[in-house]
Amino acid sequence: MRDRPHDDAMAEVFRKDPAYAVTLLNDILEDGDQGELLIALRQMTKAFGGISRVAEQAQLNGTHIYRTLSADGNPEIRSLTAILKAMGLRLAVQPIQMPVAHA
């Protein structure tokens, strides 16, 4: 039995359970770890047909997506929004749950 690369295994998980992908992205965004976010998005592009398909749907250049999602990437909001939209997702802002103060 041959080992599969981790990214391929995660792409399969995301294909089988898109709700898990959404939960994972939200958890990463809550933690604020950009590197982890870019890794998850790279893995998700595999699940959604690869860079070229996501690039076509996002109306972005494939090279731009590779650079944006690279370890050194620093995605602009419009690129990130387009990539997520190509995957059927979007960014959202939610209030932070603040603990209720007891009087």
Where do the domains of the chain lie? Answer: 6-86
Distance between CA atoms of residues 35 and 39, nearest Å:
6
- Average pLDDT of the segment spanning 31-37: 89
- Average pLDDT of the segment spanning 37-60: 92
Give the CA angle between residues 73, 41, 21 to the nearest 5°. 155
Using 50, 70 and 90 to split pLDDT, how confident is the model at 32?
confident
Q: Is a pLDDT exceeding 70 seen at residue 3?
A: no
Beta carbons within 8 Å of 9's beta carbon, 6+ residues apart: none
Using 50, 70 and 90 to split pLDDT, how confident is the model at 53?
very high
C-alpha 34: how far from chain center:
10
- The mean pLDDT value of the chain amounts to 87
Q: Is a pLDDT exceeding 50 seen at residue 1?
A: no
Answer yes or no: pTM beyond 0.85.
no
